[in-house]
Structure 1
Amino acid sequence: MHSNSLWTSNSLWTSNFLFISAANFFFIVAYFALLVTLPTVAITHYGSTSTVAGLFTTVYIGAAIIIRPLMGPWIETYGKQFMLIVSLILFTTASFLYVFFDSVPLLLIIRFIHGLGFGMATTITVAIVANIVPESRKGEGMGYFILSTNLGMVIGPFIGLTTLETFSLNLLFWVSAFCSLVAFLFALMTRLPKEDVVKRSVGEKRAALFEKSVLRISITGAFFGTAYASVLSFMAVFAVEQGLGLESSYFFVVYVVILLLTRPLTSRWYDQYGANTIIFPAIVSFAIGMLVLGLTTNAILFFIAAAFIGGGWGTLFPSFQTVVLENSEPKRHPVALATFLSVFDIGISGGSLLAGVLVGVISFSSLYIFYSIYIAVGLGVYYWAQKKESYV
């Protein structure tokens, strides 16, 4: 039995698993608390144009995309423990810098630094989880770990918007910095086994920065992420338009409740019956949820949409990451995950831009109905991806 095991050698709930999940939760909260508020802050507090406001997200995600391909070689050279600490030092330092600067150009520079830390942290945490969960419980382990991300995606925006509206921008920055610090402390508590790091001779060729074996599933993840970006970007605005402004804050609460109820089942089914058994129904659930959202005229339909989207997208994202791990060699896991997340982030950022363009010419209702059809087409996209790489 390993020293970090709480119960048995096949235990999923080791101290390392709990610490790394907690670290992930807190830096995701810090990330989303600012993600949903800074574009609005740029316009209302700094008088920026909507284009400049959009840069607060673009610069951040762009930095993450730039840094992720380098993580594989760095992890190989310096080890996971070292890179975990470095990534969260960078992320936490940037979080505190917001407090001390009050101009858009300087804040955009901080956003870039923050994005570098975010890109590093999201890659290393998933790589660590992939190595510490038992092989027979990979789907279950990844599912529970990604649940910490899903919870952060709900609590982060709630904390960010509430703090900004009720208190002040300065307190928002302090709250985000505090969450980052807590994430760093949990990272310090994580104790990984000592690794053999790679020593290369001068001129020796490094391993590839991208993992070709997971390119198809990465493209598939980005395809569906493009649709989900429309929910992240405009669901709250759509709710207000439908007279459901008060209910909008509970959308993600319903989403998370469904996740908590379904995750134990879907994760175990993944391990027992294979990815296709979970992913195809999840795509259908996601499409139904978007259709119901587009047809929403009252709170009941609104929350039904949240339930189907939670069961659909909330299952797809961790399942795709587990597929990535299963279709790459263990030593290439960090590179494979970096490849997936970089391509996925392109889908999310591109999806936000596309949704913004579409709502200029069609209604929000039409937007979500369009995306329900788009997601249904995604059944064919996933079939294309899994047909070659066989995820069963």
Structure 2
Amino acid sequence: MKAPSRTDVSPALWTRDFILTTLSNLFLFTSFQMLIPTLPVYVEQSGGNEFSIGLVIGIFTVFALLARPFAGKALDTLGRRKVMAIGLLIFILSVAGYYWTTTVFLILSLRVIHGIGWGIATTSFGTVVSDIIPAQRRGEGMGYYGLSSTLAMALAPLFGIWLVEKTGFGMLFFVSTLLAVISFLLSQIIRYPDVSVFVPSPEPKHRNRLDEWLEVKALFPSFLAIMLGLTYGGIVTFITLFGKEAGITNVGWFFLTHALMVMIVRPVAGKLFDRRGHVWILLPGAFFTAVGLLFLSYSNNLLSLILASVFYGIGFGAIQPTLQAWTINRVAPNRRGAANGTFFSGFDLGIGAGAMLLGTIATATSYAVMYRISIVFMGLYLITYSLYLAKSAKKSA
């Protein structure tokens, strides 16, 4: 029997640096996710009202979005290590600073800095891991890497609430800061690639200043990410209020089930992407996402809520890492920072716009109707993606 040649053997995925990057990302996301359900309560205790709470959430998203294009350019020019360290240090200082904030104004001011640190750090992680993962296993690698943020999403909010109830906000901010410090320490022993060895892509004939901050080749996957983000923004912002409207007491099961399905689907979708391409994941993923939203809009008990979460989790878990892997595959290595910045900015934009747009719809109708209307975004996703496939097939012919 003929022994497999060197080219037949798949390159290693679970390398030292891949594991370190994934663990560092896990600690960062755990630190972040602990604050999502607890900060609104802290704002309320500091004298804030519903508008203040919404502003605290919104201003963070805005400044994270604004920071990403700058982070992407810096990653491609200054190097991965410096930018990663800067982002994580800003994140650490802002989380620690919550301990000394006593007014809503101070919390809002700190949220600006926190958002900038988060935008830089997460864009850096996405770029570094795309450098480390072998190109032949990028879909699979992105799927496994994404499990770190999914695991944090499932467990950290519950841990944060438990800490506040048992020990208070002081311990919450201490633990969150400690986890971010561990993330920073792990990031310092990653062997970062030398950006200077990446072969620059040819300069476009009519280069404009926008090209310095955004990657044009990442725009189409980023548009699809915006469509997905619009639906996700409606879920993370209003699922608790929808539960009250529908008479479902414990909507936390939606997030636990969602996280579980994402953890199961990501590795499978990643391997399928590497072997068959994006079309095998992005089309079925959109179908599952739309069905999940439809089931959610008609949920009136815990069982139907969990069923909706299963469908939405499968769709979300398949689409999000596939779009990111596809984005990286479309660009030159020396443009990965800009590509990741463009992609994450699109997803953030979708979440923020979804929260505002769908909130307006819910005010005029109901949360159930809002979720039905949000299916339109997945319809736009399917239409534009189908047109892209038709155009690509025509070019190939």
1:28 paired residue number: 29
| Residues 322-345 of structure 1, C-alpha deviations (whole Å, 9 max, x = no match) | 111111111101101101111221
> What is the CA deviation profile of residues 352-378 of structure 1, one whole-angstrom value per residue up to 9, with x for unaligned ones?
112222221222222222223442342
Q: Is the 8 A contact 1:227 1:351 kept in 2?
A: yes
Aligned to 1:308: 311
Secondary structure in structure 1 of the residue aligned to 2:358:
helix
Match of 2:110 in 1: 110
Shift of 1:389: 6.6
Match 1:364 to one of 364, 367, 376: 367
Say if 1:63 and 1:167 are closer, same or farther in 2 by CA, change over 3 A. same
Opposite residue 154 of structure 2, the aligned amino acid is: V
Q: 1:386/1:100 Cα in 2 relative to 1: closer, same or farther (>3 Å)?
A: farther
1:245 aligns with 2:249: yes
Q: Does 1:383 pair with 2:395?
A: no
Q: What is residue 257 of structure 2 aligned with on the other side?
A: 254
| RMSD between aligned residues | 2.3
- Listed as ranges, the gaps of 5+ residues in structure 2 are 1-8, 199-207
Alignment partners' CA distance in 2, 1:257 and 1:226: 21
Unaligned runs of 5+ in 1: 1-7, 199-204
Contact 2:327 2:339 in 1 (8 A): yes
Number of residue pairs aligned between Structure 1 and Structure 2: 376
Deviations 1:64-117 (A, max 9, x none): 122211223322332112222221111111111111221222221211111111
Q: Deviations over 1:161-200 (max 9, x none)?
A: 33334442222222221221221122123222444389xx
CA–CA distance in structure 2, aligned partners of residues 33 and 354 of structure 1: 26
Instruction: Give secondary structure in 2 for the equivalent of 1:192.
Output: coil
Question: Could you tell me which residue of structure 1 aligns to residue 154 of structure 2?
Answer: 154
Give the 3 Å change call, closer, same or farther, for CA 17–264 of structure 1 in structure 2.
same
Deviates most, 115-124 or 375-384 = 375-384
Within 5 Å, give how 1:1-392 maps onto structure 2. 10-42=11-43, 44-196=44-196, 208-246=212-250, 248-387=251-390
Cα separation, 1, equivalents of 2:45 and 2:298: 35
Which string of whole-angstrom CA distances, capped at 9 and with x for unpartnered residues, describes residues 111-142 of structure 1? Answer: 11111111111111111111111111011011
One-letter identity of the residue aligned with 2:234: S
Distance 2:61 2:363 in 1: 24
State the AA in 2 paired with 1:331.
Answer: N
| Residue identity in the other structure for 1:21 | T
Equivalent AA in structure 1 for residue 358 of structure 2? A
Greater Cα shift, 314-323 or 62-71:
62-71
Q: Which amino acid aligns with 1:151?
A: L
Tell me if structure 2 keeps the 8 A contact 1:217–1:385.
Answer: no
**Distance (Å, rounded) in 2 between the aligned partners of 1:64 and 1:89:** 15
Change (3 A) 1:66 1:262: closer
Contact 1:76 1:197 in 2 (8 A): no
Q: Aligned partners of 1:362 and 1:161: how far apart in 2? A: 31
- Contact 1:216/1:385 (CA < 8 Å) preserved in 2? no
Q: Which moved more, 1:101-110 or 1:224-233?
A: 101-110
Q: In the alignment, residue 319 of structure 1 is paired with which amino acid?
A: T
Output the CA distance in 2 between the equivalents of 1:166 and 1:238.
28
* 1:23 partner amino acid: S
> Structure 2: how far apart are the matches of 1:120 and 1:276?
30
Give the AA of the match of 1:27. L
Q: Specify the code of the residue in structure 2 equivalent to 1:238.
A: F
Task: Give, as a single letter, the amino acid of the residue that structure 2 aligns with 1:124.
Answer: S
Under a length normalisation based on structure 2, what TM-score does the superposition of the two structures give?
0.88
Structure 1 residues 337 and 388, CA gap change in structure 2 (3 angstroms): farther
Deviations 1:217-264 (A, max 9, x none): 212211220111111111123224333323x22222222222232223
The TM-score with structure 1 as length reference comes to: 0.89
Percentage of pairs with the same residue: 29
Single out whichever of 117-126 and 71-80 deviates more from structure 2. 71-80
Change (3 A) 1:317 1:40: same
Question: Partners of 1:388 and 1:129 in 2: how far apart?
Answer: 31
